Amino acid sequence: MFRTLASPAPFSPRWSRLKILVISLSGVGDTLIATPFLHELRANLPDAQIDCFVLWKASADLLEGNPHINRVIQKNLIKEGSFKALRFVLGLRKERYDASVNVHTQGRIHYRIVARLIDATQRYSHSYENHGGSDRLLVQHQIPQDYSVHSIENNNRLLPLLGLKRTLKTHGYEIFLSEAEKMWAENYAAEHRLKGSQALGVHVGSGGTKNLALKRWPLELYIGLFKQLTTKRPNLKILLFGGPEEQQAHQKIREAVPSENLLFPETPNVRQAGALIAKCSAFLSVDTALMHLAAAVKVRKQIVIEAPTLNPTNIPPRGDTILVRNPAIAGRNLDFYRYDGGPIRGTDAEIRKLMESVTVDAVETAVLSALSA
């Protein structure tokens, strides 16, 4: 799937043949995290062709309308199967890219193999713990990833390798919503009387690859939270966001908490979800793609329940995020999860117990603090 976006400017003779491919095949949130880097590339190279290669349709949706890129290439290589995926990736060779950049956090060697198969003249990546001798054959230019800084900073540290420099004063996530998407959210807010009321957006799900579903805060604890909030804050609207993956969880919540103030908006795509999240007073989740989306649309307050996958590289870069600490993790996040292609470490029962250690009262206190700010 190819999407051609409006070119920021006509190509100049100097850069008329320069073509850059930014590869972002990991999570949907990682694509949002890469948007400040895309902006930096455009600021440095106003006339270059900058394309993005993403795995998930939601990633492509998030890049729609981005003025800093020329084209989005989207293909779910996992769904396609090995033969079709290989044929598609090899087909990108005809684009003859001058450079490809694997943005953070693509730790699995498969991502670097994809870069090698596309065969841009110069290939850039971070180096991860699982790097071996073969990686020198896959990419020519590498810098070590750094768990102590945000993925935005990890990406920006690639710029000098490309002979570029930082030009932007700030580096926040970027999404460019259309007027129609904003109007859709306005109409929903008016229909459900969100204006003049406080509204809490919530995402009870998470990514489902590997064993990442286990990092979700247990559904029975969410239900306990909603019961307490609807009792103590009878005028609070609670909006439950998610897609087909959350339908079963949402149905259980409906049955357990029969309140007219619990709303389940049907958002056809992630962009409309973002437009509506922007209307909320606060947003609650673990670290998910919607957590990053909430940061991108600048929701007024953001509350994040600490999961083992959360660390300084992926916490929302806004400075005022309310973090509900997980006492069972106790700062040992990297003992449980690293960007090496592996799952969260531990048995299913151990990880569930880890998330159960965050109490309903602790989350309620954080939510009420956010709503009172």
Residue 327 banded pLDDT, cuts 50, 70, 90: very high
Q: Is residue 228 over pLDDT 90?
A: yes
pLDDT at residue 38 above 80?
yes
Instruction: Determine the pLDDT at residue 212.
Output: 93
Question: Does position 252 have pLDDT exceeding 50, yes or no?
Answer: yes
Q: How confident is the model at residue 324 (pLDDT cuts 50, 70, 90)?
A: very high
> What are the Cα distances from residue 237, in Å, to 2, 264, 323?
39, 11, 22
**Angle at the Cα of 33 from the Cα atoms of 182 and 314, rounded to 5 degrees:** 115
Least confident of 11-15, 176-180, 246-250, 357-361: 11-15
Average pLDDT over all residues of the chain: 93
Mean pLDDT of 151-158: 98
8 has pLDDT over 90: no
| Phi (first) and psi of residue 125, to 5 degrees | -160, 165
Give the tokens for residue 356: 């159960």
Alpha helices in the chain (DSSP H): 28-33, 35-44, 57-63, 77-80, 82-91, 109-118, 135-138, 151-156, 179-191, 219-232, 247-256, 270-277, 289-296, 333-336, 348-356, 360-372
Q: Above 90 in pLDDT, residue 6?
A: no
- 204 sits in which H/E element: none
pLDDT digits (tens, 9 = 90+) for 64-84: 999 999 999 999 999 999 999
Q: In this model, does residue 12 exceed pLDDT 80?
A: no
Range 159-187 average pLDDT? 96
pLDDT at res. 10: 36
In the predicted structure, residue 3 carries a pLDDT above the cut 70:
no
| Domains of the chain with bracketed CATH | 2-162 (3.40.50.2000), 179-372 (3.40.50.2000)
Provide the residue count of the chain. Answer: 373
- Phi and psi at 65, nearest 5°, equal 80, 0
Q: Is the pTM of this model over 0.95?
A: no
Res. 224 pLDDT band, cuts 50 70 90: very high
